[in-house]
Amino acid sequence: MKDLPIVEGAVSGTQPEYLFPPYVSSIARSPRLPLLLLPKTLTERTGPVFGHELIRPEDNDLTAQHSGDPLGERIYVHGRVLDEDGRPVRGALIEVWQANAAGRYRHKVDIHDAPLDPNFTGAGRTLTDANGYYCFKTIKPGPYPWGNHHNAWRPAHIHFSLFGAGILSRLVTQMYFPGDPLQPLDPIFNSISDQAARMRLVSSLDMDRAEPDYALAYMFDIVLRGRDDTPFEEGRR
């Protein structure tokens, strides 16, 4: 395989290591044997393209999925999805999930003693437009305790899952909020060792997008792996 283009690893410090002992769950679940090199074949150079049929109109408005309004601070979360050359990634599927304003997930394994909100599921999805732009309306999630160590609390965050151009652009990450004092204490946040890379997971308050007397807004631009030379700009993307 020496003569073939190889799938390259990430720039040091910009991605978490699989074994990060402060995140206790990584200890028994991270590989220990060497990872092997993979050539960049058609399998690695292409990826799934999703259609608008997948998305329902209310899917990007997490406040409008039930008969009443969810409790909490109404916000917009918006931004652009870009590739490594700064070009917009069009038609990127974004899936989000989050806790409610009290820091509780609508999930059977979440046993945190905080109330569920009958008007909030906490799931959304959308496709980016021709400019790579996306927007969700939701409520600001609350921080919540977890079992990683004594008195461990997750900073407020929204989970993001993205499909860009090609399967190697696949990304699952978490968006954080500016000024949250729990971030420096959080092993998941700290698993990205490069500070500049880590801080790019923190959204910024966006008063231009905020709606007076209605909702604040946070901007979160996301750079996905991939460049212009990857051959997937076909079909309906």
Partner 1 sequence: MSLKATRIPAGSQTVGPYFRIGLDYLVDRMAREDATSEGMIQIQGRVLDRDGAPVPDAMLEFWCAGEANGPRDHGIPDGFRRAATDLDGNFTAKIMRPVGNRLEDGRAQAPHAMVLVFARGLMRHLITRVYLEDEAMNDSDPVLLSVPEERRGTLTAKRDGEEAYRWDVVLQGTDETVFFVW
**44 sits in which H/E element:** helix 42-45
The residue among 37 and 211 lying less far from partner 1, judged by its C-beta, is 37
Tell me the sheet residues that pair with 76: 137, 217
Report in angstroms how near the CB of residue 204 gets to partner 1 at its nearest. Answer: 14
Distance CA 149, CA 233 (A): 45
Number of residues that bind partner 1 (CB under 8 A): 93
Question: From the candidates 78, 104, 125, 154, which is the catalytic residue?
Answer: 154
Q: Which of residues 59-88 bind partner 1 (CB under 8 A)?
A: 82-86
Is 159 marked active-site?
A: yes
Q: Which of residues 164-223 bind partner 1 (CB under 8 A)?
A: 167-174, 188-189, 191-192, 194, 196-198, 200-201, 222-223
Report in angstroms how near the CB of residue 66 gets to partner 1 at its nearest. Answer: 14
Question: From the candidates 66, 159, 170, 200, which is the catalytic residue?
Answer: 159
Residue 25 interacts with partner 1 (CB under 8 A)?
yes
- The residue from 29, 57, 181, 229 that contacts partner 1 (CB under 8 A) is 29
Report in angstroms how near the CB of residue 213 gets to partner 1 at its nearest. Answer: 30
* Alpha carbon separation from 111 to 36, 66, 95, 122, 145 (Å, rounded): 39, 23, 24, 16, 10
Residues contacting residue 11 through CB under 8 Å, at least 6 positions apart: none
Structure tokens at 217: 């807004």
Q: Which of residues 93-122 bind partner 1 (CB under 8 A)?
A: 95-97, 99, 105-107, 109-110, 121-122
Q: Are 202 and 192 in contact (CB under 8 A)?
A: no
Q: Are 220 and 203 in contact (CB under 8 A)?
A: yes
CB atoms within 10 A of CB 57: 7
Active-site residue list: 105, 144, 154, 157, 159
